[in-house]
Amino acid sequence: GAVVSQHPSRVICKSGTSVKIECRSLDFQATTMFWYRQFPKKSLMLMATSNEGSKATYEQGVEKDKFLINHASLTLSTLTVTSAHPEDSSFYICSAREQTVNTGELFFGEGSRLTVL
C-alpha cells in the first residue's frame, strides 16, 4: 500500500525558533497533500491543503505566515512553524492521496510531536 513518511517524529525547540516538518510520499506521487493538527482530546483540525507547484490553501483561522507550506515536488511537502511559541506545541500529521488510484482514501504519516519550550 501507499506509504507516507513524516520526519521528524519528535522535535523540541525553544520559543522564537522555526521548525520544519517533512512529509514524503514514498511509493506514489501526490500533487496534493494535507496538513492536520491534533489537539488534546483527539480533535483533528485541517490546517491547509498543499498543492505541488503552487501556493497552499489555508483553512479559515490558520495563519499562513506562521505555518509556511512548501510543496516543491510530487513527493515532498514541508510545513515550517515559524517563530514557534509554546501554544504551537501539538501533534502535526500530514496525509496524501494516491493520484493514479484515486480510491478516495487518504494515507497518513505517523505524525510529528512538536514541543516548544
Positions touching other proteins (CB under 8 A) are: 4, 6, 32, 34, 36, 41-44, 46, 49, 57, 91, 93, 95, 97, 103-111, 113
Residues in contact with 43: Cβ distance below 8 Å, sequence separation at least 6, in sequence order = none
- For cell 496534493, the residue is 32
Of residues 6, 36, 18, the one with CA closest to residue 80:
18
The least CB distance from residue 13 to other proteins, in Å, is 19
The least CB distance from residue 16 to other proteins, in Å, is 27
The least CB distance from residue 42 to other proteins, in Å, is 5
C-alpha cell at 43: 480533535
Q: Which is nearer to other proteins, 20 or 58 (CB)?
A: 58
The least CB distance from residue 47 to other proteins, in Å, is 11
Q: Which is nearer to other proteins, 5 or 82 (CB)?
A: 5
Q: Which is nearer to other proteins, 23 or 84 (CB)?
A: 23
| Surface-to-core class of residue 79, CB atoms within 10 Å of its CB (0-12 exposed, 13-18 middle, 19+ buried) | buried
In 16-82, where does DSSP find H-type helix?
none
